[in-house]
């Protein structure tokens, strides 16, 4: 993939829109909680993981290796820096990275003079993001703290069980980048019966169960002259339907979900991702959070 195309797909206006939404929300969030007694935590996960899991499983999938290698620097220049510079500030900042070499790069944040005053509040975790997030959601004392979690993967790494753990805290505001056209639509092959098992398992982990097979496909048997009827399952969904299905899935586990996720397109107007917001807090705080997110999303 040439550099110009990389820039069009991953470094253009859609990236600025995503980061702009995050910056506005984090500022509004810490301002709203400024006089509240809660410890405020920011967590950023899935930095630079790319599509490698699918390739390792023997499947031919879009491989963004060069982008994945470059991601730690863009991560530092993007969402991490936005969070670290947010005023009023968070009490803790947690950045998760699976690759030890990229985690080592991220640890350089702590020695950056610009963040000297908050270095002791910055934590770099090396490991599987899904596992670390699920453990953290179960271990934290949510009666005393609140958090914003930003899940910004390149592909299909965010598992539904992680979303359920986040929703179960009743204390986290979640921004999640859903790979609508970048990965999901590409994996939804025209005939479900011909989909590789690895892709099917991956989609099920992202959506939480196999209901997506009924939502996106129509089964049909066709009589043949030479033998038993041939069974196919033809794809019937478009990008809008895929995005609506994912938002509806979020609504089944989160008490409040913003109804207007942002569609993020490349320079040619092709949808790559959706940016969704969901609040785990079932009370007034959750409704306020969604109102703020909904207002910000309207402006992009």
Instruction: Locate 252 and state its tokens.
Output: 């089944």
Asked if 63 and 55 touch (Cβ cutoff 8 Å), the reply is yes
Q: What per-residue confidence (pLDDT) applies to 224?
A: 59
| CATH number assigned to the domain covering 3-183+239-298 | 3.40.50
Asked if 104 and 47 touch (Cβ cutoff 8 Å), the reply is no
Q: What per-residue confidence (pLDDT) applies to 29?
A: 97
CA nearest to 122, candidates 107, 132, 133: 107
Q: What per-residue confidence (pLDDT) applies to 231?
A: 78
Asked if 290 and 276 touch (Cβ cutoff 8 Å), the reply is no
Asked if 113 and 78 touch (Cβ cutoff 8 Å), the reply is no
Q: What per-residue confidence (pLDDT) applies to 270?
A: 87
Residue 47 confidence class, pLDDT cut points 50, 70, 90: low
Q: What per-residue confidence (pLDDT) applies to 49?
A: 35
Asked if 262 and 274 touch (Cβ cutoff 8 Å), the reply is yes
Lowest-confidence range among 71-80, 157-166, 190-199, 280-289?
Answer: 71-80
In the predicted structure, residue 121 carries a pLDDT above the cut 90: yes
Residue 7 confidence class, pLDDT cut points 50, 70, 90: very low
DSSP state of 254: S
pLDDT tens, position by position, 197-210: 999 999 999 999 99
Residue 98 confidence class, pLDDT cut points 50, 70, 90: confident
Instruction: Enumerate the β-bridge partners of residue 157.
Output: none
Query: What is the DSSP annotation of 163-204?
Result: HHHHHHTS-EEEEEEE-IIIIIHHHS-SBGGGS-HHHHHHHH
Q: What per-residue confidence (pLDDT) applies to 106?
A: 82
Place of tokens 């609140």: 146
pLDDT greater at residue 228 or residue 28: 28
pLDDT tens, position by position, 148-202: 999 988 778 899 999 999 999 999 999 999 999 989 999 999 999 999 999 999 9
Q: What per-residue confidence (pLDDT) applies to 226?
A: 64
Asked if 176 and 292 touch (Cβ cutoff 8 Å), the reply is no
Query: Cα–Cα distance between 261 and 17 in angstroms, integer?
Result: 12
Asked if 85 and 112 touch (Cβ cutoff 8 Å), the reply is no
Q: What per-residue confidence (pLDDT) applies to 170?
A: 97
Query: Cα–Cα distance between 80 and 93 in angstroms, integer?
Result: 9
* Domain ranges within the chain, ordered by starting residue: 3-183+239-298
Q: What is the pTM of this model?
A: 0.86
> Residue 211, Cβ neighbours under 10 Å: how many?
12
């Amino acid at each position: 993939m040439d550099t110009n195309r990389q820039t069009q797909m991953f470094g253009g206006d859609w990236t600025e829109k995503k980061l702009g939404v995050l910056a506005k929300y984090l500022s509004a969030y810490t301002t709203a909680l400024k006089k509240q007694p809660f410890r405020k935590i920011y967590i950023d996960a899935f930095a630079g993981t790319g599509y490698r899991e699918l390739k390792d499983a023997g499947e031919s999938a879009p491989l963004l290796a060069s982008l994945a290698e470059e991601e730690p620097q863009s991560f530092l220049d993007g969402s991490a820096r936005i969070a670290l510079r947010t005023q009023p500030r968070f009490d803790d900042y947690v950045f998760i990275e699976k690759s030890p070499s990229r985690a080592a790069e991220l640890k350089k944040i702590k020695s950056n003079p610009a963040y000297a005053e908050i270095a002791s509040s910055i934590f770099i975790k090396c490991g599987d993001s899904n596992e670390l997030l699920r453990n953290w959601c179960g271990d934290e004392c949510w009666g005393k703290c609140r958090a914003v979690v930003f899940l910004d993967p390149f592909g299909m790494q965010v598992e539904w069980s992680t979303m359920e753990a986040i929703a179960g805290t009743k204390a986290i505001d979640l921004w999640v980048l859903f790979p609508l056209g970048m990965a999901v639509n590409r994996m939804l092959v025209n005939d479900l019966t011909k989909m590789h098992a690895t892709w099917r398992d991956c989609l099920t982990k992202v959506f939480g169960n196999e209901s997506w097979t009924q939502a996106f496909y129509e089964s049909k048997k066709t009589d043949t002259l030479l033998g038993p009827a041939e069974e196919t399952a033809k794809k019937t969904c478009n990008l809008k339907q895929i995005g609506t299905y994912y938002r509806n899935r979020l609504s089944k586990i989160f008490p409040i979900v913003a109804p207007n996720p942002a569609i993020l397109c490349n320079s040619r107007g092709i949808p790559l991702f959706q940016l969704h917001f969901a609040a785990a807090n079932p009370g007034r705080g959750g409704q306020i959070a969604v109102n703020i997110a909904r207002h910000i999303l309207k402006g992009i």
